[in-house]
Chain A
Amino acid sequence: MERQVALELKNICKYFPGKVMANKNVNLTLYKGEILSLLGENGSGKTTLMNTISGIYAPDEGQIFIDGKEVVIKSPKDAYLYKIGMIHQHFKLVDIFSAAENIILGVKEKGSLKNVNTRVREIAERYGFDIDPKKKIYEMSVSEKQTVEIIKVLYRGADILILDEPTAVLTPQETEKLFAVLRKMKEDGKSIIIITHKLNEVLAISDRVSILRKGEYVGTVDTAKTNQKDLTEMMVGKKVELKIDRPKTEFDRPLLEIRNLCINSDDGNVAIDDASFYIRGGEILGVAGIAGCGQKELCEAIAGLRPIKSGLIMHKGENIIGLPPRTIIEKGVSMSFIPEDRLGMGLAPSFSITDNMMLKTYGEGKGPFVDRKSARERANALIKRLEIVTPSSETPVRKLSGGNVQKVLVGREIEAGPNVIITAYPVRGLDINSSYVIYDILNEQKKKGTGVLFIGEDLDVMLALCDKIMVLCHGKVMGIVHAEKTTKEQLGLMMTGSLDLTEEKKDKNLGFAKDSNLTEEEWKSEEERQEKEATDGRS
């Protein structure tokens, strides 16, 4: 049976001045009732192409056909007219409005909000969404916000949906739920284009996969007839070894020891509850957990950016609680947290790579002036070593693609020669190739004797890369296991709190190192001192 074409792109080209072509002769066909994955490395022009379809950019060349008729999409409004809806990576919602208010924003139609609520519920029921139309956006979790974005598009009658990296911010469970919804939409005859970096997701959800490389269209394959390895090769353009190493190293004495740490979150809730663990030189300790169960607070506390409630953080036997962030950096503790927007912390977006290189070191050297020359040299060395794609070292980092931004951040942190690296979500939103560069960098550091705390999302990666994995659930440590001796299932159970290994061995003080830098007496006296300081501070 001849399938009906919903959307066809012919020879789409898009140039950005002063830059390589973002899209070059891209051809794409989307059939009715199918899910098409769009695959490509960071900066290969996926988002540009989708923005062209949804009317944000105008193509410099080429044609767009919808239902066989050629169209010109001048604005997002036009796109809605042609029943195309895009769900952006960064949500575009008004925080203080309710879900329903956001959904009807910009729709010119009469009727009360009550009718809107009913219609929203209808749509939600039809596809299996979970949503309360009256809930305000600022009260919502990331996945709820995404649901609002999708319903917004459906409410306007979209038949073609484009989702730009929808799973980057979701937990595995939420992703499953989203995929179930997408499959229902497909049965309903909707056509869906989904952009994602995660190959297992591509294979799980899509019917066909189209691949872009450096702005050029490489080809389209049926999902059923391909595998991760082939897809990667098409995407990267060469054979890639998809294996994460776990080099054997000698474990040194503990570098960072944390005992009975309690931290509050911004709103005063318990973020980390009585956590004890340690990191040795030459080991990678993974931290697994559902998003938002204390990872951010833990990172900030170690880096000295967040006051703790109680407990001890010892770096090489010295208490670092209460020290200013700069002193902690100088001691060799590096923290890099890649937030959901990827730019929020650690980099200054409109600064050049050079200026970002010296963010932590600008104060060094005598005199009132900064040493930009050596920073430029370091920037150029980093660009070369990590193959950062950029016109020059003076390009603002916000103009780089996501993967290259992360390389700058991680590269700078490592270049400073830290002895403890705390890195949260270093491969967030990165394509396979860039992710492996980051893993290699971490392994290299491990071999040098650095202690690495790796806060991650992808359990498969953590199982392959980390030596040990600590699982958090609602800020509580559920256990610390050897990566070689555990399974994904066990970790999953611990993440949801169904399995608590600490319960069984309560008296054994799991998170305490046997060869601690301090004797038990010293720990006691440090503890007492800390308590005393805390009470003094309060009175």
Chain B
Amino acid sequence: MEEVKTVREPLFHMVKRGNITLLKRLGIYAGAIVAGILLTSILCVVASSDKSNPLEMFSSMFSGVFGTERRFWTFLRDTALLLGISLALLPAFKMKFWNLGANGQVLMGCLVTIACMRNLGGKIPDAGIIAIMTVASVLAGAAWAVIPAIFKAFFKTNETLFTLMMNYVAQGLVVYMITVWAPSGSGSLSPEVYGRLPNIGNGYLLTIIVSAILTVFMFFYLSRSKHGYELSVVGESENTARYVGINVKKVVIRTLILSGAMCGLMGLLIGGSINYTVSSEIVNNMGFTGIMASWLAKFNPLVLIGTCGLITFISKGMGQVRQDFGFYNDAIGNVVLGIIYFFIIGCEFFITYKLIFRKKNKTDFTAIENSTQKGKGGNE
């Protein structure tokens, strides 16, 4: 064969990967996170007046999460909360129903829980209150999700806007209820005493156990159950779903009831087991963070544990960094979070594609394969 050499070949070209091994994928993620933290640590040192060593940011982050036993438990519980909310989004997202209303659904669950605790407290035994508020919060969350689902199924309304708007209605409702319950104008409620959910072991474990059960449930629901199969068909193509005899309206509504009910349950935990009170910001935007967590996990419940842990780690760690580095407001912390998220999401590119670099002598395909594996690392 004659010598093949091309002129003016570009430095590299992109090639879509077929399958990528789990190890390689994790490696790329790890690389992205380290690169993100390195970049932001420099930023933090520049912005901080009393720290000068970028590596201190690492130790700060770790101490924020692992520093004390309490911090670690809080980290686990917050991961579990985010995990629970993200899990609730999975079935809807797999159906390509963009439920942006998890915030509102969780908030409604929480509001109803507090309402039960306030109004029934002392009148009936705690066990009764817990039973009632569990059912009520699940129903409230489900209702907040099923309203947009019904409109979508029957009137083809856009679910993204609808669910988003439902968040604001829920927030408004909470603000209004607080003024009813605490007319003094303080704007906040004192913690409820009656009807608290029982402590299992310590104050953190209940949330963790509930989320663990939900994870296992969601894993089997999505991958093995008939319901899970139906909702993925609807997500794939409504035409195909109709063609094989799936009642699309029914599946949409059923799935959103599940999604909302799980959000309501997380609201119950926030109100009845963690805070014993409600405010319009109590969900801490986990309904939106959960969207990112689910996308990063590619809608896989088991991978979701990892992405939720990672996101919680970064935000908890940054809380500590803010303290140690003497930042008096959220601004720097949010910039750092944004940059690290950007790196995590951006590295998806290297998972989907690989770059093939110009070679001096192209003779052998295996040589190309090897060179790309070597060349990739430096491209973050």
Contact present for B225 and A355 (CB under 8 Å): no
Which residues on the A side are within 8 Å of B4 (C-beta)?
10-11, 61-63
Contact present for B232 and A72 (CB under 8 Å): no
Contact present for B244 and A74 (CB under 8 Å): no
Task: Indicate the size class of the contact surface on chain B.
Answer: 35 or more
Cβ of A388 under 8 Å from chain B = no
Contact present for A72 and B239 (CB under 8 Å): no
Please, what's the 1-or-0 string for B2-41, where 1 marks a CB less than 8 Å from any CB in chain A? 0010111110010111110000000000000000000000
Which residues on the B side are within 8 Å of A322 (C-beta)?
none
With A61-B362, A305-B243, A325-B243 already in contact, the answer to whether A16 and B18 are too (CB < 8 A) is: yes
Cβ of B242 under 8 Å from chain A = yes
Partner of B237, one of A62, A303, A329, A344: A344
Contact present for B226 and A368 (CB under 8 Å): yes
The complex places the Cα of A305 from the Cα of B240 at a distance, in Å, of: 11
Which residues on the A side are within 8 Å of B19 (C-beta)?
17-18
Please, what's the 1-or-0 string for B112-134, where 1 marks a CB less than 8 Å from any CB in chain A? 00000000000000000000000
Cβ of B201 under 8 Å from chain A = no
In the complex formed, the residue of B with least CB distance to A70 is B7
Contact present for B365 and A347 (CB under 8 Å): no
The complex places the Cα of A23 from the Cα of B64 at a distance, in Å, of: 54
The interface-forming segment of A113-121, A197-205, A359-367 is A359-367
Of listed B18, B226, B362, residue having the most chain A CB within 10 A? B226
Which residues on the B side are within 8 Å of A326 (C-beta)?
244-246
The complex places the Cα of A326 from the Cα of B237 at a distance, in Å, of: 17
Contact present for A344 and B7 (CB under 8 Å): no
The complex places the Cα of A360 from the Cα of B18 at a distance, in Å, of: 29
Please, what's the 1-or-0 string for A254-293, where 1 marks a CB less than 8 Å from any CB in chain B? 0000000000000000000000000000000000000000
The complex places the Cα of A372 from the Cα of B247 at a distance, in Å, of: 21
Contact present for B9 and A72 (CB under 8 Å): yes
The complex places the Cα of A358 from the Cα of B232 at a distance, in Å, of: 13
Contact present for A70 and B243 (CB under 8 Å): no
The complex places the Cα of A263 from the Cα of B19 at a distance, in Å, of: 47
Contact present for A351 and B245 (CB under 8 Å): no
Cβ of B180 under 8 Å from chain A = no
Contact present for A359 and B226 (CB under 8 Å): no
In the complex formed, the residue of B with least CB distance to A368 is B225
Quote the shortest CB–CB distance from A116 to chain B (angstroms): 33
Cβ of B368 under 8 Å from chain A = yes
Contact present for A359 and B240 (CB under 8 Å): yes
The complex places the Cα of A335 from the Cα of B245 at a distance, in Å, of: 12
B197-245 CB contacts (< 8 Å) to partner A: 220, 224-227, 229-230, 232-233, 236-237, 239-240, 242-245
Partner of A60, one of B18, B229, B356: B356
Contact present for A345 and B224 (CB under 8 Å): no
In the complex formed, the residue of A with least CB distance to B13 is A58
Contact present for B229 and A360 (CB under 8 Å): no
The complex places the Cα of A16 from the Cα of B18 at a distance, in Å, of: 7
With A18-B19, A324-B245, A325-B244 already in contact, the answer to whether A72 and B7 are too (CB < 8 A) is: yes
In the complex formed, the residue of B with least CB distance to A327 is B245
A76-103 CB contacts (< 8 Å) to partner B: none
Cβ of A384 under 8 Å from chain B = no
Quote the shortest CB–CB distance from B287 to chain A (angstroms): 27
The complex places the Cα of A344 from the Cα of B236 at a distance, in Å, of: 10
Which residues on the A side are within 8 Å of B236 (C-beta)?
348-351
The complex places the Cα of A327 from the Cα of B244 at a distance, in Å, of: 10
With A74-B10, A368-B225, A370-B224 already in contact, the answer to whether A360 and B237 are too (CB < 8 A) is: no
Task: Indicate the size class of the contact surface on chain A.
Answer: 35 or more
Please, what's the 1-or-0 string for B227-271, where 1 marks a CB less than 8 Å from any CB in chain A? 101101100110110111111000000000000000000000000
The complex places the Cα of A346 from the Cα of B245 at a distance, in Å, of: 11
The complex places the Cα of A235 from the Cα of B220 at a distance, in Å, of: 47
Cβ of B331 under 8 Å from chain A = no
Which residues on the B side are within 8 Å of A362 (C-beta)?
226, 229-230
- Where chain A touches its partner, the secondary structure class is loop
With A351-B236, A362-B226 already in contact, the answer to whether A325 and B242 are too (CB < 8 A) is: yes
In the complex formed, the residue of B with least CB distance to A339 is B239
In the complex formed, the residue of A with least CB distance to B247 is A324
The complex places the Cα of A326 from the Cα of B242 at a distance, in Å, of: 9
Contact present for A369 and B18 (CB under 8 Å): no
Contact present for B8 and A72 (CB under 8 Å): yes
Quote the shortest CB–CB distance from A376 to chain B (angstroms): 13
The complex places the Cα of A363 from the Cα of B240 at a distance, in Å, of: 15
Which residues on the A side are within 8 Å of B244 (C-beta)?
325-326, 329, 359-360
Cβ of A15 under 8 Å from chain B = yes
The complex places the Cα of A524 from the Cα of B220 at a distance, in Å, of: 52
Cβ of A19 under 8 Å from chain B = yes
The complex places the Cα of A60 from the Cα of B362 at a distance, in Å, of: 9
Which residues on the B side are within 8 Å of A305 (C-beta)?
242-243
Contact present for B245 and A347 (CB under 8 Å): no
Contact present for B239 and A344 (CB under 8 Å): yes
The complex places the Cα of A344 from the Cα of B242 at a distance, in Å, of: 12
Quote the shortest CB–CB distance from A421 to chain B (angstroms): 15
With A19-B18, A63-B6, A325-B245 already in contact, the answer to whether A370 and B226 are too (CB < 8 A) is: yes
Which residues on the B side are within 8 Å of A349 (C-beta)?
236-237
Contact present for A369 and B8 (CB under 8 Å): no
The complex places the Cα of A345 from the Cα of B240 at a distance, in Å, of: 5
With A344-B239, A362-B229 already in contact, the answer to whether A15 and B365 are too (CB < 8 A) is: yes
The complex places the Cα of A152 from the Cα of B53 at a distance, in Å, of: 59
Quote the shortest CB–CB distance from B366 to chain A (angstroms): 11
The complex places the Cα of A119 from the Cα of B227 at a distance, in Å, of: 57
Which residues on the B side are within 8 Å of A344 (C-beta)?
237, 239-240
With A15-B365, A60-B368 already in contact, the answer to whether A348 and B243 are too (CB < 8 A) is: no
In the complex formed, the residue of B with least CB distance to A21 is B365
Contact present for B243 and A370 (CB under 8 Å): no
The complex places the Cα of A34 from the Cα of B289 at a distance, in Å, of: 59
Which residues on the B side are within 8 Å of A71 (C-beta)?
7
The complex places the Cα of A346 from the Cα of B243 at a distance, in Å, of: 7
Contact present for B243 and A345 (CB under 8 Å): yes
Which residues on the B side are within 8 Å of A13 (C-beta)?
365
A311-325 CB contacts (< 8 Å) to partner B: 324-325
Contact present for A60 and B365 (CB under 8 Å): yes
Which residues on the B side are within 8 Å of A355 (C-beta)?
229
Contact present for A348 and B245 (CB under 8 Å): no
Contact present for B9 and A18 (CB under 8 Å): no
Contact present for B225 and A370 (CB under 8 Å): yes
Quote the shortest CB–CB distance from B3 to chain A (angstroms): 11
Of listed B10, B232, B239, B243, residue having the most chain A CB within 10 A? B243
The complex places the Cα of A72 from the Cα of B4 at a distance, in Å, of: 13
List 12 contacting pairs A-B, 8 Å CB cutoff, sorted by A. Answer: A17-B18, A62-B6, A71-B7, A72-B8, A345-B240, A345-B243, A346-B243, A348-B236, A359-B233, A362-B226, A362-B229, A369-B224
Q: Closest 7 interchain pairs by CB?
A: A18-B18, A326-B245, A348-B236, A17-B18, A58-B13, A325-B245, A359-B244
Interface residues of B (CB under 8 A from A): 1, 4, 6-10, 13, 15-19, 220, 224-227, 229-230, 232-233, 236-237, 239-240, 242-247, 354, 356, 362, 365, 368
4 additional A-B pairs beyond A362-B229, A370-B229, beta carbons within 8 Å, are A58-B10, A62-B6, A72-B9, A349-B236
